Amino acid sequence: MNTQSQSFPAIALALGYSGVIPFVVLAVCIALGFDLNALGITDANGKLISYGAVIISFIGAVHWGVAMHTSGSKQNLLFIYSVIPALVAWVWMFFNDRAALFGMGLTVAAMLFVDRQLLSDSVPRGYLKMRLHLTVVVAGCLLLAALRVTIV
């Protein structure tokens, strides 16, 4: 399926970029040491880790969607790969906060390279460009938070 000539919908861009808002807000609050308890927000690290796991799973699921419109051995590869990020994110959730945030940041970055290999001929041109932008912000936020987290 060659979708390179398709334009990338503006709504998809808007929703994609809006998905970084929780990463930015939580990472900045963690990095600056804001006490979010006064706002009723407890465990900002845990919330960032949980959202990271959700988004990592979501990015992996794109491969499932592409696989539904593919055939042959590439279809099998896409189906198999599509569940791996969710499992990796789940494993990171068992680590201490610093390790989980650091690991998720690296996972998001590594997933971009896999996406470029497996999806370049299967998604609209704008998707991988957006993914690059989002990956820089998301991985940066996760790594920034990891650097700030104090291991207790």
Q: Which domain holds residue 115?
A: 10-148
In a domain, 75, yes or no: yes
Whether 3 is covered by a domain: the verdict is no
46-63 pLDDT, tens digit per residue, is 999 999 999 999 999 999
Q: Using alpha carbons, select from 96, 94, 98, 92 the residue that is nearest to residue 111.
A: 92
* Residue 2 falls inside a structural domain: no
Res 23: pLDDT: 98
Does some domain include residue 4?
Answer: no
State the pLDDT at residue 151: 55
Whether 5 maps to a domain, the answer reads: no
pLDDT tens-place string over residues 30-47: 999 888 888 888 899 999
Tell me which long-range contacts 20-25 makes (C-beta under 8 A, separation of at least 24): 20/134, 20/137, 20/138, 20/141, 22/47, 22/48, 22/51, 23/48, 23/51, 23/52, 23/55, 23/137, 23/138, 23/141, 23/142, 24/137, 24/141
Task: Answer yes or no: is pLDDT of 6 > 90.
Answer: no
Q: What is the pLDDT of residues 69-102, one digit of tens each?
A: 999 999 999 999 999 999 999 999 999 999 999 9
Give CA–CA dist 45/122, Å, rounded.
Answer: 35
Rounded Cα distance between 98 and 129, Å, is 29
In a domain, 51, yes or no: yes
- Mean pLDDT computed over 112-131: 94
Cα 35 from Cα 16, distance rounded (Å): 28
Q: What is the DSSP letter of 117?
A: H
Domain assignment present for 44: yes
Flag whether 55 is in a domain. Answer: yes
Number of domains composing the chain: 1
Q: Is the dihedral of CA 137, 139, 144, 150 positive or negative?
A: positive
User: Can you tell me the distance from the alpha carbon of 13 to that of 149, in angstroms, rounded to the nearest whole number?
Assistant: 31
